[in-house]
Structure 1
Amino acid sequence: MLLYALLANVVEKPDGITISAFFVVGIVAISLVSRVTRTTELRADHIDLDDPARSFVTDSLAHDGQLHLVANRRQRGEAGEYAEKEEAQRGMNPVPGAADVLFLEIDVVDPSAFSGALHVRGVQVDGHRILRAEAPAAPNAIAAVLLALQEATGVRPHCYFEWSEGNPLGHLFRHLLLGRGDTPPVVREIIREAEPDPSRRPGIHVGG
């Protein structure tokens, strides 16, 4: 009975539904515009590295005076995963043969957040050294870490990726909604906006 009365009222006086629909559409549109305009923000007020992470960076610099990082989306988190990832990246990207490689992993949490401290932890898995952090969006966090490393060390870091499979538009919507997508081009654009001098931008290398 109540449902019938509601439907009858909507049919006879649809003004309320129309106004509500405009409000909903307006809120969704504003939210999308806000998210799109903030896509290329760093989203991190500052970067904190714990002692193991600092040690990894120091040791890598001592090896050859350079910083080479491989971006990895963790799957099993086992030694074999990192060995396979490094071998694949050395095959598809210009990683110097004697380069000391660090892995960079971002766990996406609460994609609706936009700022705050980014805490980077140093984790070691069977000799493979990983810089790991939690952030609202992977590309923004990777860009922030690379820029922070460059600022702290004075060394231009190089980060290596592989292209993601799938439709570019699908990756775009995934990034907007979930903080993940085709990471390399977004990282590069964030760095381009944050650092106006091309010679001071961290190197982004994509293969595959």
Structure 2
Amino acid sequence: EQPEGIKIAGVFIAAIIITSLVSRVWRTTELRVGKVELDESAKAFIEEASRGTIRIITNRCDRGDANEYQMKEKEKREDNHIPAEEPIIFFEVTPSDASEFSGILRIRGEKVDGYRVLRTESPAVPNAIAAFLLYLRNKTGKLPHVYFGWSEGNPLSYLLKYIAFGEGDTAPVTHEVLRQAEKNPEKRPTVHVGG
């Protein structure tokens, strides 16, 4: 029996796991999207919205029907005092493979009973939202506003969920990604959390 060999192997395994976790935590708030691409519908939605204040409402797609968007719009307009005449765009990010850390964010625009919805997939939801907001700012010259709701639950468990799976309490992580990507608060997209 060689217990020293088992101990050495255990130390190496522990070092690999710890290094991997530290690396993952370190990269959680990095802006990891290399490029944003919009289809023609998405471009049209953005062009129309850029005539005024650009207001993006984040949504985790449930049914994807008109009732879902009607309820979400009502909630966000009331919680954040968004005037009824101000146009909004919904933005939905479906989590994809969490092991991928960079790439192209492909956004497609769809109309659902008159509601403008932008949809994409990304391994990290907050990173995708932040990248999209910075793209909007750079493309339109305007600071977009994004609207979130508060998540119910333990913030620590949401942080761990984000580190492990790329989703969790999206609003504060999106804000932190934006803060690190854009040091000047006056040039940073505005994050609203209500509800």
TM-score (norm 1): 0.91
Q: 1:96 to 1:201 in 2, by over 3 A?
A: farther
1:27 aligns with 2:13: no
1:194 Cα deviation from its structure 2 partner:
0.9
Q: Which moved more, 1:191-200 or 1:163-172?
A: 191-200
- Show the counterpart of 2:75: 88
CA distance in 1, matches of 2:176, 2:29: 7
What SS class does the counterpart of residue 185 from structure 1 fall into?
A: helix
Residues 96-135 of structure 1: matches in 2 within 5 Å?
96-135=83-122
1:70 is aligned with what amino acid? I
- Show the counterpart of 2:31: 42
- Show the counterpart of 1:207: 194
- Show the counterpart of 1:157: 144
1:51 aligns with 2:60: no
**Which of 131, 143, 159 is 1:144 aligned to?**
131
Structure 1 stretches of 5 or more lacking a match?
Answer: 1-11
2:49 is aligned with what amino acid? S
1:176 is aligned with what amino acid? I
Structure 2 stretches of 5 or more lacking a match?
Answer: none
CA distance in 2, matches of 1:23, 1:110: 27
For the pair shown, the structure with the greater C-alpha radius of gyration is: 1
Moved over 6 A (4+): none
What SS class does the counterpart of residue 116 from structure 2 fall into?
A: strand
CA distance in 1, matches of 2:68, 2:181: 32
1:197 Cα deviation from its structure 2 partner:
1.4
1:97 Cα deviation from its structure 2 partner:
3.1
Percent identity over the alignment? Answer: 49
1:167 aligns with 2:154: yes
1:15 Cα deviation from its structure 2 partner:
2.2
CA distance in 1, matches of 2:14, 2:82: 48
1:60 Cα deviation from its structure 2 partner:
1.8
**Which of 27, 45, 55 is 1:68 aligned to?**
55
1:146 Cα deviation from its structure 2 partner:
0.3
- Show the counterpart of 2:7: 18
- Show the counterpart of 1:176: 163
What SS class does the counterpart of residue 45 from structure 1 fall into?
A: strand
1:190 aligns with 2:185: no
Q: Which moved more, 1:185-194 or 1:137-146?
A: 185-194
2:124 is aligned with what amino acid? A
CA distance in 1, matches of 2:185, 2:178: 9
2:63 is aligned with what amino acid? R
1:53 is aligned with what amino acid? A
What SS class does the counterpart of residue 81 from structure 2 fall into?
A: coil
What SS class does the counterpart of residue 50 from structure 2 fall into?
A: helix
Q: CA RMSD in A?
A: 1.1
